[in-house]
Amino acid sequence: MTDATRSSRRSGWNKLTPSERVKELAEWLDADPNDLRSLFEGGGLDAAAADALVENVCGRYALPFSVAPNFTIDGRDVWIPMVVEEPSVVAACSNAARMVREGGGFRAEADDPIMICQIQLFCDDLAKAREAILENKARLLDIAGKQDEALARNGGGPRDLEAREMRDPETDENFLVVHLLVDVRDAMGANAVNTMGEAIAPEIEKLTGGVYGLRILTNLADRRLVRVSFECPAEALALKGYPAEQVVDGVVSASRFAELDPYRAATHNKGIMNGVDPVLVATGNDWRAVEAGAHAYAAKSGRYKPLSVFRKNAEGRLTGRLEMPMAVGVVGGATRAHPAARLALEIMGVKTARDLAILAATAGLATNLASLRALSTEGIQKGHMRLHQRSRHLQK
Ligand code: MEV
């Protein structure tokens, strides 16, 4: 991450022109502003690179590339790039980061980057098949590991195998679900684990006499969680006409609403994804995968819940805590092939998938806090519509 000695705090950024912001960004990166300007003029991606990235390309589709300043995470000051079409998200994110830094900033931690590949196995005796698989775990892990020797050289690779029996009451069809757990290091990991799953499935068939079905990762990446928290002095949250304590109580009450009601929890979590997704888009990551994982994790207890919770502590400070799966990478796919995605990683100074996971989740907790603060005081529309006006003249 970036140099801990310099401040990410910026005020009045909303009053600058894009060209002035690029100048500041170039200073932050110690880069030539003209290089950044020409990158942005081309939408960050030239026609040939676009054609190489996916199929049937006819053109390119631009979105605004913004930067949210003011973040302090684990004592380091960072800027967070965001690519998003919705007005007020970037402003909300940097505004919340400014408030939280008054309490010392965000704290974060992430699990090892473990992804899971599921292998479905149809067989008659599920318990016997499970036993055979677990007895041969070391050999199966070895076969899986040989599929990606580069990953092994980087310290990653298969870590474990688990198996669950699944009974379908509708069809009476029984099958085993084998989970292959793989440390994917700095990749999102889909290709690595799918390749490994496809490699061991025929071996599992031989061992059990069963027949394999699907072999694909699960987006419920619940072994790859990220946790972000903060503690913010009440005064930092005050707003004209709304005393600090009232704001804290309002945010806590909004949190309780989401904890009790899945209808509210869905919208609460959308406010989190307002911060997460723009970071994923900016860095060329698979935001659909993270969205799927986030909502599946929110519903894991059997009832859909908010991914974050806010409380008032004994000193009257607001505390916030977010936990969610975050399957992201800093190598492979568009993260390296898209020049603007490479720039986004450079702006954040992230070198590992773990660091990126932390930054994306932190942006999520920041936009979430900003939404709850606005909703429990003046309402969301006042600020939102003011910013929305900026693009009204473009509407056809
Ligand atoms: C709008 O994009 C997001 C919010 O609806 C989130 C929330 O209600 O918490 C404001």
What is the 3-class SS of 330-392, one letter each residue?
CECCHHHHCHHHHHHHHHHCCCCHHHHHHHHHHHHHHHHHHHHHHHCCCCCHHHHHHHHHHHH
Going by CA atoms, what residue is nearest to atom 1 of ligand 1?
271
Span from the CA of 14 to the centroid of ligand 1 (angstroms): 21
Mean pLDDT of the 29-46 span: 92
Q: Indicate the DSSP class of residue 301.
A: T
Going by CA atoms, what residue is nearest to atom 9 of ligand 1?
268
Confidence of residue 385 (pLDDT cuts 50, 70, 90): low
Q: Which residues of 306-320 are buried (b: 16+ CB within 10 A; e: fewer)?
A: bbbbbeeeeeebbbb
Q: Indicate the DSSP class of residue 8.
A: -
CA 99, 281, 65 angle in degrees (round to 5)? 65
- At 96-110, the pLDDT tens digits run 999 999 999 999 999
CA distance 370 to 280: 20
In short, whether 274's Cβ falls inside 6 Å of ligand 1 is yes
CA distance 165 to 65: 47
Tell me where in the chain the CATH 3.90.770.10 domain(s) lie: 13-110+224-394
Going by CA atoms, what residue is nearest to atom 6 of ligand 1?
271
Is it the case that residue 5 has pLDDT exceeding 90?
A: no
CATH of 13-110+224-394, one of 2.40.128.20, 3.90.770.10, 3.40.50.720, 1.10.10.10: 3.90.770.10
In short, whether 255's Cβ falls inside 6 Å of ligand 1 is no
In short, whether 293's Cβ falls inside 6 Å of ligand 1 is no
Q: For a ligand 1 pocket test, name from 309, 375, 384, 385 the mutation site with the most ligand atoms within 8 angstroms of its C-beta.
A: 375
In short, whether 267's Cβ falls inside 6 Å of ligand 1 is yes
Span from the CA of 61 to the centroid of ligand 1 (angstroms): 26
Q: For a ligand 1 pocket test, name from 84, 89, 267, 376 the mutation site with the most ligand atoms within 8 angstroms of its C-beta.
A: 267
Is it the case that residue 18 has pLDDT exceeding 50?
A: yes
Span from the CA of 220 to the centroid of ligand 1 (angstroms): 23
Span from the CA of 349 to the centroid of ligand 1 (angstroms): 29
What is the 3-class SS of 34-50, one letter each residue?
HHHHHHHHCCCCCHHHH
- pTM of the predicted structure, to 2 decimals: 0.96
Specify the 3-state DSSP secondary structure of 97: helix
In short, whether 266's Cβ falls inside 6 Å of ligand 1 is no
Tell me where in the chain the CATH 3.30.70.420 domain(s) lie: 114-217
In short, whether 270's Cβ falls inside 6 Å of ligand 1 is yes
Confidence of residue 265 (pLDDT cuts 50, 70, 90): very high
* Mean of all residue pLDDT scores within the chain: 95
Name the CATH topology of 114-217: Alpha-Beta Plaits (3.30.70)
List, by residue number, the catalytic residues: 86, 270, 286, 384
- At 73-99, the pLDDT tens digits run 999 999 999 999 999 999 999 999 999
In short, whether 70's Cβ falls inside 6 Å of ligand 1 is no
Q: How many CB atoms lie within 10 A of CB 373?
A: 26
In short, whether 371's Cβ falls inside 6 Å of ligand 1 is yes
Q: What is the pLDDT of residue 78?
A: 97
Q: Indicate the DSSP class of residue 147.
A: T
